[in-house]
Amino acid sequence: MRGFRSITIPALLVIALSACSVTATPGGSPEGAGQKSDGPVAIGFSQATQQSPFYVQLREGAEAAAKKAGATLYFADAGGDVTKQNNDIQDLITRQVDVLLINPVDPQGVQPGIAAAKAAGVSVVTVDRPVPEGAVAHVGRDNKAMGALVGKRLSEQLGAKGGKVIEIRGDAGGAVARDRSAGFHEAVAANPKIKIIEGPYSDYVRSKAVTAMQDLLQVHPDVAAVYAHNDDMALGALQVLKENGKDKVLVSGVDGLMEAVKQIPSGQYVATALNDPLSLGAKAVETVLKVKKGEKVEATIDAGTALIDTGNAAQYTGAGEFAQAAQ
């Protein structure tokens, strides 16, 4: 996976970084490290991965907002490797960016990069995944609330009969996975007939969820429902269930992936929670620009969420890859 990408847009430069040089435009001359020139605000965006549609759109939302603001965005993809992410952050610091926007692979593992930013006098804003310390602000959504919204709806659908619910988890040690799990568990706790079977961590990747679900279905053929920490994994589970004739097993996820939203009216896919990545990326860049200007920002900025189920799926259905938050 490429660590960096390069595109040229009139008001926005997403510039490819390498170990040796940066090329500002195709055919342009390399700029040496540390040669920060006067001009647009320079934002360094270190992202955890591009392996999920959510993170692709998060990047696109940030890019679009930077372009609108006339800022320069330097982008780096860690490819799920925290060591590479720390190296990426060092590279971005070398570019003398004004502010760093970090979507951490691991909240603890990225601390060396955050410490390096602090030493260089570069403020850090995190997006989607928080870190325990070192960031002036975090922009995200209440993942515990998302899990609770979906858990309450799924519990209602299962009713007094309850049953086994397989939980396909996100990433080990991640705050998002932890909160989406906690919210869900708390919401279904009122129904004593629901038994949660904790599945493996599948890193929010559909193909990994498919493999996990194939194994889990053999052990738990009497499963009543599946809850996955994102819709991409939930759709992988749904694929396996359909292949095995399990069309009565309920499925739910998080993020409002349009492919999932369009499944809801059929009944088997019960619910998802809104987590529009385009607006989240835009909100993160908006926050970064406020930090650069020295404006006061909240330590935690909640971009908001909502339940999407049979009652409102039609109003969220559209051409985008994710359901969009109300503007």
- 205-238 tens-digit pLDDT: 999 999 999 999 999 999 999 999 999 999 999 9
CB 61 within 8 A of CB 277: yes
Q: What are phi and psi of 83, to 5 degrees?
A: -65, -45
Residue 59 has what pLDDT? 97
Rounded-to-integer distance, Cα 140 and Cα 132, Å: 14
Rounded-to-integer distance, Cα 194 and Cα 211, Å: 24
CB 272 within 8 A of CB 258: no
- 99-131 tens-digit pLDDT: 999 999 999 999 999 999 999 999 999 999 999
- 163-199 tens-digit pLDDT: 999 999 999 888 899 999 999 999 999 999 999 999 9
pTM of the model: 0.79
Rounded-to-integer distance, Cα 72 and Cα 5, Å: 14
